[in-house]
Amino acid sequence: MDLISRENPARVAEIVGSVPVTDPAAVDAAVRRADDAFRGWSGLPVAERVAALRRGADTVAARLEELAPLLARESGKPLADSRGEIGFAVAFLRWVCDEAPAVLAATEIDDDAGRLVVRRKPYGVVGCVTPWNAPVILAMLKLGPALAAGNTVVLKPSPLAPLTITEVAAALPAVQVIHGGAETGRALAGHPLVRKVAFTGGDAAGREIAATAGAMITPAVLELGGNDPAVFLPDFALSDADYERLVMASFATAGQVCMAAKRLYVPRARTAEFTEAYLAAAERVLVVGDPLDPEVTMGPVISAAAAARIGALVAGATGGTATPLGRSAPGHDPASGYFVTPYLVTGLDDHAPLVAQEQFGPAVPLLAYDTEEEVLVRADAGELGLAASVWSADEERAFALAGRLGAGFVFVNTHNRTGMSLRAPFGGVKRSGYGREYGKEGLLEYVQSAVVHAPAAFRPGGPGMAPGAYPGGVHDEPPRAAGAVRPPP
């Protein structure tokens, strides 16, 4: 049996664990088992499904201190962040359990126009393909709503972080986990019994998943990348704590977050002031080292390839000045793993790759601007539109600009996870994907409307309608004598 062995990106000689590769025949078997289980799971009242999910949430919560070090070791995410991610996934699942009964309830109208019932019905088997950078919460955003709605799920996590999410998924009902790379993902997304696909990841993989699902006319939810701008209006007023939060908005998880602050746009007249305060904040809060060290706030990147790619972006930032940020933890050995020095880069133009591309790593460009209209155009440049932020002492002014930005989610006076809300739907526009997670919209992604309708005209005692009539009396066909023949058109 082929195995995926996962190394610790902070100590690359250490193998954290392994999982078996699921070949296409085994993918087929897993999907068929999920399809067999669908009728029983979907047939349960929503209250029973929710109760089972609550028990799963309790099981994961009870194991948090056991699972957090495993997540830190396989992903390079600092221990405190690993605890936070698992705890947040539990909180999200419990929120789904609270909200699902009302959101998924059927609605009925019985009035002079007739009787109309709209039910929320699950799709069937949902195939989920999830990434490595936040493997627990990004899977739970799919598992919770899909399962509460009555779907069964086959989950394929990233081979770069398969261990913790496999343990978490085992606590939930109606879920099967498979493992592998692109071949396994294609077999899942293209399976004829998979009725919906949910994917979070990069642009290239997203295109392949969408094409594979589309060939089967299978609907999908895609949450892809973003090159997210943070726009500071001329009246911005940031405290030391605000600057610290801003630093972590770019460098949490070593910058490997789809909604991280990836471009900082600052009024030209205030760039010196901003830079000085930003560097000081980074010195206070950005500590690089082994994720299991409780003082560390930034660990390694996920792989040697990621480290090389980010290094090349920084090295290629010609014409700019790259200033290293933060400090190393005592005793830290950068050569032990895939560690990348975090940088603030100034002096680049908008065409530099570090600005124009999603860097997905610990290097962020600071860009000066002169007018609000100018920064709006520059912030919206490119094909991605996941998230953005606007910072201002005047909330109304911030909201006004935020409403003009081409992003699916705009934070005001914060950025990244500190600006999220369980009730707020999240997703991208342009090439950053489609569909939504979080909020009631995230629950409704996993159901279809199924309608039963008795128009008033055809209920007992109703007047009926002419055979060719349109509803609502629009251009009703005039009555015809029995046996009359309509002339050809």
Helix (H, G, I), strand (E, B) or coil at 352: coil
Q: Do residues 225 and 384 touch, judged by C-beta distance below 8 A?
A: yes
Q: Determine the Cα–Cα distance for residues 184 and 23; give it in Å rounded to an integer.
A: 7
What span, in angstroms and rounded, lies between the C-alpha atoms of 228 and 233?
Answer: 16
Active site residue: 97, 128, 258, 437, which one?
258
For this structure, is 85 an active site residue? no
| Residue of 223, 358, 437, 445 with catalytic role | 223
d(CA 132, CA 161) in angstroms, rounded, equals 5
Helix axis angle, 135-148 to 64-75, nearest 10°: 120
DSSP bridge pairs for 231:
265, 390
How many other C-beta atoms can be found within 10 angstroms of the C-beta atom of residue 275?
A: 16
Structure tokens at 459: 């209920």
Is 258 assigned a catalytic role? yes
Give dist(CA 148, CA 93) in Å, integer.
9
Could you tell me where the beta strands, DSSP code E, fall in 262-359?
Answer: 263-267, 287-288, 321-324, 327-328, 343-346
Q: Where are the beta strands (DSSP E) in 215-347?
A: 220-223, 229-232, 263-267, 287-288, 321-324, 327-328, 343-346
Closest CA to 409 of 446, 439, 369, 444: 439
Please, what is the end-to-end C-alpha distance for the chain in angstroms? 68
Exposure of 321 in the CB half-sphere (CA atoms within 13 A): 5
Taking the CA atoms of residue 411, residue 412, residue 416 and residue 422 in that order, the dihedral angle to the nearest 10 degrees is -60
Calculated CA dihedral for residues 72, 425, 255, 241, nearest 10 degrees: -90
- 3-class DSSP state for residue 166? helix
Token digits of residue 390: 């606007």
Catalytic residue numbers, as ranges: 223, 258
